[in-house]
């Protein structure tokens, strides 16, 4: 218990920027989602109360955990984020996709990285980090958070919106005249993490918890309960 919650309360950073993992209940304002369920279950197994720290973007969640202001967080695995955060293996895998206007000449993911094409991403998101490394010719534009990507795409008349497939598909239902390109440009592995400054036992304990939650069906049940489609439970994995 002390390895993960040294102060006797488990402080969990919850990223509302990824609706696959967490959101606020429209009626009550309460936090809900797969990551919330996992945080509460971890606290229950440790026998400690849970304090949820909500942030609106992935980058902020990284900062909170890196600074030690939270004991655990929920992140897309990325080497840049690995500086200051120690990850478990993935518990869920999510697809990254592109959205364009209905009349766009773009019909495939491979056509996006071309000179003169503008691609809007959520600042500090997993796909921002990925595309920053991979995009060679198109221009990246950053929205403050992932849920603001499509609105930024529309208001600034940009060419492509990049994001988590579920978010983009929801936006395509909300906004007329847009479509999601088929396929995916990346697979995002979602894991839990602890501050890298914590002893190795903290990461090992959290990794073991994640593996139990995958094997027991807890993660699959949580995905179904929250109506999450297009995300899959990650395969079992050893601690690396």
pLDDT reported for residue 19 = 81
- Residue 3 counted as domain residue: no
Q: Which of 66, 69, 91, 62 is nearest to 9 (CA)?
A: 69
Give the orientation angle of helix 218-225 with respect to helix 200-215, to 10 degrees. Answer: 70
Indicate whether 88 and 18 sit together in one domain.
yes
- Is pLDDT at 183 greater than 80 in this prediction? yes
- Residue 1 counted as domain residue: no
- Is pLDDT at 230 greater than 70 in this prediction? no
For range 190-208, the mean pLDDT: 96
Indicate whether 226 and 117 sit together in one domain.
no
- Total number of domains constituting the chain: 2
Report residue 72 CA to chain centroid gap.
Answer: 14
**Domain of 220?**
10-92+189-233
- Is pLDDT at 87 greater than 80 in this prediction? yes
Summarised one tens digit per residue, pLDDT across range 110-158 is: 999 999 999 999 987 878 888 999 999 999 999 998 889 999 999 999 9
Q: Which residues pair with 61 in a beta bridge?
A: none
Q: Which of 206, 203, 152, 150 is nearest to 179 (CA)?
A: 150
- Residue 59 counted as domain residue: yes
| 105 vs 232, residue with greater confidence | 105
> Which of 33-42, 50-59, 164-173 is predicted least confidently?
164-173
Indicate whether 193 and 87 sit together in one domain.
yes
pTM of the model: 0.73
């Amino acid at each position: 218990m002390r390895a993960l919650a040294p102060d006797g309360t488990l402080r969990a950073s919850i990223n509302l920027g990824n609706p696959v993992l967490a959101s606020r209940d429209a009626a009550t304002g309460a936090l809900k989602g797969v990551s919330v369920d996992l945080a509460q279950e971890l606290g229950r197994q440790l026998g400690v109360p849970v304090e949820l720290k909500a942030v609106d973007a992935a980058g902020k969640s990284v900062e909170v955990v890196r600074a030690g202001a939270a004991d655990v967080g929920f992140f897309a695995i990325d080497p840049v984020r690995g500086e200051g955060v120690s990850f478990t293996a993935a518990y869920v895998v999510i697809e990254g996709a592109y959205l364009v206007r209905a009349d766009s000449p773009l019909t495939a993911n491979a056509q996006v990285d071309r000179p003169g094409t503008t691609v809007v991403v959520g600042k500090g998101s997993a796909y921002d980090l990925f595309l920053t490394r991979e995009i060679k010719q198109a221009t990246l534009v950053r929205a403050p958070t992932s849920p603001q990507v499509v609105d930024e795409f529309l208001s600034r008349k940009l060419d492509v919106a990049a994001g988590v497939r579920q978010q983009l598909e929801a936006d395509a239902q909300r906004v007329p005249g847009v479509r999601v390109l088929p396929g995916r440009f990346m697979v995002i592995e979602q894991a839990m993490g602890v501050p890298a400054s914590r002893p190795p036992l903290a990461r090992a304990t959290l990794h073991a918890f994640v593996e139990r939650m995958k094997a027991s069906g807890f993660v699959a049940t949580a995905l179904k309960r929250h109506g999450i489609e297009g995300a899959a439970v990650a395969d079992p994995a050893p601690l690396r």
